[in-house]
Amino acid sequence: MWHHGHLMDSMTGTHLVPPSYALPADNKPIPYAPQVRGWLEEYEEKYGRRGSSTMTTEQVPIEWTCGEARVIDVRTSIGSTQQVRWPASPEITVDQIKAFEQKAGDLKSGDVVIFQTGYNDAYLRPQPADTRMWLQPLQGKAEGWPAPGPDAILYLKSKGIRCVASDAPDLGGVDPKRALMTYWALGSREMVGVEFLVNIDKIPAQGAYFMFAAVKVRNCNGGPGRAIVLY
């Protein structure tokens, strides 16, 4: 019999982002680069302490990643950035979330919020046709995918949301400063993210139940799993 070994990046495909992804394990000073230290000071002045966490993927309770699926269509954000500001991602705002609630009903504690960007379905292609997916947005040659800012994350927390998901490559977007602030906000509020979903357009507006089960890997700061929607 032949044995085959496989190597896979832990954030490949649909994956879970736990609090430990962006937070240190304790509150000891971290030798951030000067630019990042400035970002942290700006973040803490506006949003409070970044905090710390040792909660890796295998410690996230499965009930945090299961709940009624509330799909918020943010595809209208596409094309809203100015090319001179690239690399940049359209920011999903609190106003967009509130507009969804006015139409579909208030978000409730335990719901799983899924941002529908359409990005993965549009651009996920085999090599060498995959440059629009990652390379061009990161190089500033194309607009990035829509992603929530820290204000949106804090609003979702105020509604009792534990899990935020997206059918984009990640919840941070292509601007490193904004991405880090979003992940700090998620982690410091003990929230988790599920990234790189597909086929969100098939989820009905009502009566759908989202479940995500992460692969149990010890001390994993972000890892793969399986997302399922029942309806």
pTM above 0.85, yes or no: yes
Query: End-to-end distance of the chain based on CA atoms, in angstroms?
Result: 42
Asked whether residue 177 carries a pLDDT value surpassing 80, the answer given is yes
**Cα separation, 79 vs 93, whole angstroms:** 15
| The predicted structure's pLDDT at residue 1 | 61
- pLDDT per residue as tens digits for the range 86-104: 999 999 999 999 999 999 9
Residue boundaries of the structural domains of the chain = 15-230
Beta strands in the chain (DSSP E): 15-17, 66-73, 91-92, 112-116, 147-148, 163-166, 192-195, 209-214, 223-230
Asked whether residue 2 carries a pLDDT value surpassing 90, the answer given is no
Instruction: Quickly list DSSP for 78-92.
Output: TT-S-GGG-S--PEE
**Residue keyed to tokens 């993965």:** 120
pLDDT band at 213 (very low <50, low <70, confident <90, very high): very high
Residue 217 exposed, middle or buried by CB count within 10 Å (0-12, 13-18, 19+)? middle
CATH architecture group of domain 15-230: 3-Layer(bba) Sandwich (3.50)
**Cα separation, 169 vs 113, whole angstroms:** 16
**Pairing mode of beta strands 223-230, 66-73:** unpaired
